Amino acid sequence: MAIKTYRDALREAMREEMLRDAMVFIMGEDVGVYGGIFGVTAGLRDEFGEGRVKDTPISEAAIAGAATGAAMTGMRPIAEIMFVDFTTIAMDQLVNQAAKWHYMSGGRIKVPLVLRTTTGIGRRTAAQHSQSLEAWHAHVPGLKVVMPSTPYDAKGLLKSAIRDDNPVVFIEHKMLYNEKGEVPEGEYLVPLGKADIKREGSDCTIVATSLMVRRALAAAEALAGEGIDIELVDPRTIRPLDIETICTSVSKTHRLIIVHEACGFCGVGAEIATEVMEQAFFELDAPVVRVTGKEAPIPFSPSLEDYVVPSVEEIAAAVRCLVKGGE
């Protein structure tokens, strides 16, 4: 295992897939000469040329529309939209076109499109550049939604997404790009729709996504010193959702806390909680608890930005309350 950053793991995945398949190409704002706003595509234009690493106009609708059309004709585009906030401008192309054509064509047309974008807080970029909108995309039949939390998962999931014949919204947390982790040197894939147990435990299950996986791990380590043993499940893909692994963990610990950065109302946590209640209700010894972002736009102020998303301390406090019955 080599130690690589989340950023380098993503770049390596794209490079390997471009070498493997000539139909794979990259497009988006500043992905070529500049190397991407977060440096993920740096060097790829030099290696593969401007025909396969294409800088586009500043139009998210055009990026998503052109990528959809290219995918429908047999190409495998990797389209980058800088911030998930800006996918709102491309919703017609994603929701009404990319997600629908396989169904409307009776299975004759495939749309093997990967839309890479970033999510979340941490860079103090305020209300229009810091949102977590994964639930918007996961609500749409026909779209797959991926949220890797480690370099290993980032590479393996991106390679699987590129090879998938369906449109995949691949959401990267901007505060994870510099995080390091083990990444195999050889070929490997992480399947879409398969959760991962990041930490085994017996007292309470935490299901966390993206950056919150790291915060939940930190909370679990702190709670271990208090004699509370946490099992942490990372869904990795929001849609399809591996509810079986989550319910198996709940059957083991009999308690569930769901942690995500997006606000709680109609969030992914609400779907997970409902599915667990439907499939594993009698395994629960306590109500399901959600620890989510506050119901507010993301502030620019650093102290307020930190306040509106779950902290390690907030996660740990929720676990103590659930496990110890309000003590």
Per-residue model confidence as pLDDT tens digits over 196-227:
999 999 999 999 999 999 999 999 999 999 99
In the chain the domains, ranked by start, together with CATH numbers, are 2-183 (3.40.50.970), 196-323 (3.40.50.920)
Percent of the chain with pLDDT over 90: 98
Query: Which of 80, 39, 274, 288 lies closest to 171, judged by CA?
Result: 80
- Per-residue pLDDT tens over the stretch 129-178: 999 999 999 999 999 999 999 999 999 999 999 999 999 999 999 999 99
Residue-wise burial string across 84-107, b where 16 or more C-beta atoms lie within 10 A, e elsewhere: bbbbeebbebbbebbbbbbeeeee
- Per-residue pLDDT tens over the stretch 217-275: 999 999 999 999 999 999 999 999 999 999 999 999 999 999 999 999 999 999 999 99
* Angle in degrees, CA 297, 300, 303, rounded to 5: 100
The greatest distance separating any two alpha carbons of the chain, rounded to the nearest whole angstrom, comes to: 62
d(CA 293, CA 295): 7
Region of 199 on the Ramachandran plot (φ > 0 left; ψ -120 to 50 alpha; else beta): beta
The rounded mean pLDDT for the chain is 97
pLDDT of residue 239: 98
d(CA 56, CA 34): 12
* In the predicted structure, residue 67 carries a pLDDT above the cut 90: yes
- Give how far Cα 234 sits from Cα of 180, 205, 216, 253, 325, Å: 17, 11, 10, 16, 25
The catalytic residue among 129, 137, 173, 260 is 129
Global pTM exceeds 0.95 = yes
Structure tokens at 234: 């990372």
| 129 has catalytic annotation | yes
